[in-house]
Structure 1
Amino acid sequence: MKELVRHKKKLYIIIPFMVFIIVGVMGINNRFSKKRLEAKAVDGIVDLSEWDLTKDGITALDGTWEFYWNKLLTPEDFKNVNNPVKIEFIELPGTWDGLKVKDYILQSDGHATLRVKVKKKTEKEILSLYMPSINCSYKLWINNELISNVGMVGKDKDKVKIERKENIVNFKNESEHLEIVLQISNYDSIFKGGTNGSILLGNYKQIQSYVYKKIALNLFVFGCLFIMAFYHFGLYLLRRKDISTLYFGLLCLCTALREILSSQIIMDELFLDVNWILQAKCQCVITELALLMFLLFIDSIYKKYRNTKVYNALKYSMMMIIIFHSFAPIKIVASTLIICTFMTIFLCIYGFYIVLKALIKREEGAVIIIIGMLIVFITVTNDFLYNNHIIFTGYYTPVGLVLFTFAQSFMLSKKFSNAFNTVEALSEKLISLDKLKDEFLANTTHELRTPLNGIVGISETLLDDSKNLNQYQINNLSLIVSSGRRLSKLINDILDFSKLKNKDITLNKKSVDINQVVNVVLEVSNNLIENKKIELISTISEEIPYVFVDENRFEQILYNLIGNAIKNTYEGKIIVSACCKNNMIEISVSDTGIGIPEEKFEQIFKAFEQLEMTGNNKGIGLGLSITKRFIELHGGEIKVESQLNKGSKFTFTLPVSKEKNSIQIIPQNNGALNKINTVINNKHMNSSESINSNDGEFKILVVDDDLINRQVIINNFSSSKYFIISASDGEEALNKLLEHKGIDLVILDVMMPKMSGYEVCREIRKKYSLIELPVLLLTASEKTEVIEVGFKVGANDYLFKPVDKVELTARVNTLLELKKSVEQAVTSELCFLQAQIKPHFLFNALNTIMSFCRTNPERARELLLDLSNYLRKSFDFNNKEKFVSLENEMSFVKSYLAIEKARFSKRLNIIYDIEPNLNCLMPPLILQPLVENAVRHGIASKRQGGTVNISAKGESEFVLIKVEDDGVGIDKERLNSILNKTIEGSVGMKNIIKRLDLIYGYGIDIQTEQDKGTTISLKIPLRKEKFND
């Protein structure tokens, strides 16, 4: 602001200084011109006897010439003494309009002869006479010789042909006298009869120099204005909102064209036979256009000071005048020029008034415009006085126009400069604020992670205990979880976007198997399908070369593209394909979704851009933008093909790896490098080889396709406490499980060829429970979905790669100790359960057997065998088998029920519905307590007795076992106590629920109805002899 005030103070000093300089230059020129023009024509005679053309220069033959109205006289006529002519005089330059001859006031139309005699020094060089454009047809004689003929001179309208032409005539005259005779005819012209400019006399070089300077000045003015016009047109094209540049450009263009049109010499050079009527109309219309543009320009920069009524009146009046003059005949145009003159005066007064108001309000640029207008006013006033022979300075309007133009250009440039400086300052501020915003966003997202994870975790915990919730509450909790996960993904996207923007992304490139990554991503993405009928398919060949990429970022690219396809596809297929082209792998993700409009192809890759084609906008438009940036960081590119309602296809390229399974290693020292090379180059190394003996307490299977990673893990467990077995792929790992019995833990990499870690884990869970064989997953991805899928297929825990030795050891030991503790707890519970045999059951059983000894000895013998079998299985404390077959468990149950059947006789009916050949292993002492509960609490409490139905049916991956009775049922309070494990006095039921929950992660299902019976169901996984290949 201080700088602006300082500049204004300078301008207040510059204004008077410039006015003083301009007036001073004009005054000096006026003084010089007066001295030069002292040789004036008096009564038709110019005395140049004391005038040296060579030294004193050009002289104007201004003054009083002889005037002969309605006479076309030749030099010969003046020699005829028999025809005396009365002499009148006319002031040149000037016109005969209004001249009084013989009591008659002359009009514009007519013809006349003008004559002057010149006394001069004897000149031997060639002389020249400059004839200005006098807007009439004329003939010129010098000393009886016809020198020039412009147009056709005649005494009536039909014989006259008017032309406009500036002319230079050269002649040689060594005498001391010159006689100049000029015939002029003026009919049907818009101009007045006579001459508008001075007729100049000088030598040839002087006149030529004068004309050239005049042309140069005209061209200079035209060039300046023309360049400024297109300069401002360019400014307008760059910034369409500021229309003042357009108006000023048009003002400059109109003024430039007028300058050319007013120079007759240039027009004659450009057009050999120019139509003077067309030239005059163009000059008139363009001048009016320039005035209109001036009005619009002033209004556009100071619109708030506009007087609307005056402005509209001037604007529309000027527009009507321009249209009218464009089509009206030249005579009417000439007769209405007075209106245009008044309009010009009003327009200039209005413009000056507006700028003056702006100046008072200290508007930017008002001072400069005032300077420009003052310059034009001074120069126009000068030319007016010069034309009326009041002063003799010369024409300065062109110079004034150029100075005005430069002043306005300076003002606009200053305006743009100030705007640029403001924009620059704002840009710097915006950059600073943007950086601050990014930092705030990054910090905020980091801080949001912890509470967000808490929200999701607590909500999931509540969902896990959904038995105590109604459906409304379950739906709301599910909505919280899904929204939380979506917000978590958004936070990760924002962090990635911030890193990309700040170029804070480091790519750990290595050779990566495309199939391996795609299979894992498709496995995880299956969870996103929900209830849609979508099939995820990979058609990538096993022979496809590896890509040289950052594995984590490659996964992220695929997750984003496949996730986007799932979001916009309701049914159909999503296909991932790949091929090799020009040392690049071209990977495509195509879907059968809603498609994308072609005009939106570029928009979808911009940050925070979304298509609002569906109501399914679950993000903020960062996914595809981040994907594109990651692909470009790898040296690839992405493109999209799509048709509305038919689907989309995203294709991206990544560089081919030069060798498979290569990895970039930056060694810390040569020793480390040598050790790694030793491991890699050991081609004879057996995958199952262990660095310790087979006597370890724990047996661990390590599965990883990367030899270095596998060896690092093996080295971490070099203690004799562990026996390590290793495998390089999923198939080999399953075979190792068959070969080596009693493996305690599997450390499994997710990303592997042939079979992914998920598939291997799924196969393991078909034979082993979570407690029997814990699985620790290793993954390079930190995505929640990846971890969630791992838990769904049966993993116990996970670790992010690269693994830390301390953390890996801690996790492994925790899982091993947990397994050991659970086994001990289950064994203790089993022993405790075996110790719960009630004495009265033995008394009842013995009494029943004794009663049969007399009546039915054979039946008594069978019951003794059943009791013996029952007691043997109940008191087998040394049995360390974790699981027994279904057949074995049913044998125990049948022995118990045989004794109870003998006791209750017809009150107890037993039905067995066991599907044959069920290969099922289950924890011991699971069914008997359930059957005993059905007999004691269901049937025995009912006077008429009842039926116990025991069934076992094989399903896809489970055996469904049911124990049904039609007894008295269980009341709701007791049922809730059983399910919540708070029931008192029911050790057997609590033990079953606890053991099943520990081993399988779920308990039993109880359906009951008062006085109608109870059904208890449990699922036991099917066991297979071998793993699927």
Structure 2
Amino acid sequence: EIIANRNNQLQLVSIQLAWRTEQLLEDIQTDEHNALLKTINKAISSRRAMIIRIVGLGLLAILSAAILVVYILRDIRRERRDRNRILEAKAETERIMQQRERLLLTITHDIKAPAASIAGFIDLLSEYVDRPKAVGYLQSIAGSSKHLLQLVSALLDYHQLESGKAELHEVSFAPASLVRECTDGMQPQAMAKHLRLTADIRVEDTMMCRSDAFRIKQVVNNLVSNAIKYTDKGEVTVTVVVANARLTISVEDTGCGMTPEEQQRVFLAFTRLPGAQGKEGVGLGLSITREIVQMLGGTINVSSRKGSGSKFKVVIPVEVLANSAPVIATAKIDNNKSEEAATVSHDAKDISVLIVDDDKLQQQLLTEMFSRMEGINLNVVTTTHANEAIRLANEMKPRIVFTDIEMPEMNGSEIMRRIRSKMEATFVAMTAHEQSIMPQLRKDGFDACLFKPFNVQTLAATICQLTGIIVKVKAESSATETDSLRSALLPFTDGDPEAERQIIDDIHKSIDEYLDMLKDVSDADQIAKAAHKAMPLLEMIQPGKNSWLTPLTPEHIGETEEKEREKLTIQLVERLKQIKNL
């Protein structure tokens, strides 16, 4: 019984343990199931969040792509529009450049040529005008035409240099002669302002170099002219040195000088410094000079102080020639023609001349100039049309053909070629271009060149060179020397006797004063003072023809030998007495 109870108890315990175990297993399964569900739910939530993020990123990417496409399309449209604008701007620029070329051609032919004709007619008219007011007006017109020609020439030079169309023409030249020629040519300008212009030439006269002599001369002339323009008192010195295949030219003045800021701007085109007020020019001279120097492979710089003058220094590479002689520019004339011209008899002076120029004013000027020549009979025929010129040439067989270079129907070179293919003739080019085109004209076959404006003396010299006949220019004016003196000394009185008498009395008193100073030919100070005072009077009577008086001026009398000084003093006394008597 005890065992039976014990077994029952054990069975009960076993049953309870089995139930408890089953309950634990069920609890474990339930916990595992719940944990698994929780894990699954968490994983599902994570995946859902990830999907949402992916979808969001995708939508954002799509939106970004759409925006990018919009911007790309907009940029493409802008690029296409800008490209069209650039093409239109390029076409417009090319059109403007073509118009600019036509404008410059107009300036060359339709402005410079008439201005040159005006200058030529003024030269001819000056001998017919003797009324004081008319003389003053004529001088004003001459000054204006000269200024216009200088302005047009400067604009053309600047355009050629800026556009790169200017060409170099190398020749052999003597630097000493070149600089001396430039300073001699500028002496009248310096004398008019009572300045001393000197050339310090530190090279041998026989030294020869090779470069573009025309351009170098243009540089020297520009710098010297500019120095004279801005110097009111003192001197201008030009120094030339050749060393290490370098030509160094310095132009130093005692003028107004420049500040450092002005030195930075002085080479800019169309720049006018404050000190240039009241001076002629448009601010192109130094800009053109710099362009020329750079074209020659050189350098230019300036050193200056306000109120203490300026110094421009140009260094240009050159080829120094050994054992060479100067190359002199001569017209290209056939040997047979030269011999024929040299053997022309005294009686063979009938020359047929054909003038081809579309400017009737220039034709009239040339015809008038030819009428002023003595010692030669000229049969002059003019025409404005190229085809008519060729026809006339076939009919008249001209000895000399003068032709303009720029004409609307046909240029002068083509006219020359067509006429020369049918007959022998001498051809002279007439052009308003600057002289650097001379080598090209000679290469084309022209025998001589006339650069507008030219005067009757230049024309006569050309005729003499081409024909071998000595040609003189006759004076058409019938005015006496007294009339010329009245025209020079009595400006703007317009025939008023009282005004004329007062001026004449003043001139007499001045001349008497000068003569008193010149009584003692050994008193250099008094002679220099008299020469200085008399110079303006002599310049009014004979402008540009009083360089003989320079050795007696205060700046140069110390360098003049005593015999030369006495000789010039006597000459000055005689001239003053002559003026007084007249």
Task: Give the TM-score normalised by structure 2.
Answer: 0.50
Q: Kindly indicate which of the two structures has a greater share of residues assigned to helix.
A: 2
Q: Kindly indicate which of the two structures has a greater share of residues assigned to strand.
A: 1
Looking at CA atoms only, which structure, 1 or 2, has the larger radius of gyration?
A: 1
